[in-house]
Structure 1
Amino acid sequence: MKDRFVFKCVLEKEGKLYNALCLDLDISSYGVTVEEAKANLEEAITLYLEYAFETNRFEELVPRPVPPHVMAKYKNMSKKKIGQHAPKFDCEFFRSHDHQFAGC
């Protein structure tokens, strides 16, 4: 298994909250700020990767992309920034020698 993973993510404002969605894992998280949404997404992805590894289901569960209709929605997403933030971003994770995941 490789030790470095890069996941495609998107960010959008929904009402007063920001939604960060990982397209490659179908995981999302919200925050009051962009930074909070991204941090919450990082935590959710980390927990998911650890679960997949610890249950020996990594190959089955990673990647697990969003459904095609969701992917189509974001495929041609505007490049217009949300504040100072790009709406599309990569979230990079590394697996350490003790099998812990850290990223974004």
Structure 2
Amino acid sequence: MSDYEWDDPRWEWMVLINHEEQHSLWPTFKDIPRGWTQVGPVGSKQECLDYVEKAWPDITPLSVRKQLEANKEERERKLKKIQEEQKHLMAQAEKTAQDEAGSKPH
């Protein structure tokens, strides 16, 4: 068992955030690990948990969210191009049908 009782109600807690916008609770008596920054309240574990729940609704890391957004934008560009090509092809087909209808003997 560790030297710490992680649920000790006497402890003060803080909320940390890293470059991926991931959040963590950390006891105030421990040094903040490299790559993490203190944000939000310092207080009870529940106060910090409440903050994290509101501040971090999407637990997806920032780099993944950015990639998903880039992929979404690329998909939207491709879809728009396909729709434009379809519109052009439909217009060509309609013109061809009209030309063929007009060239038939009466």
Q: When the two structures are superposed, what TM-score results if normalisation uses the length of structure 2?
A: 0.26
Larger radius of gyration: 2
**Bigger relative contact order, structure 1 or 2 (CA pairs below 8 A, ≥6 apart):** 1
Structure with more helix by fraction: 2
Structure with more strand by fraction: 1
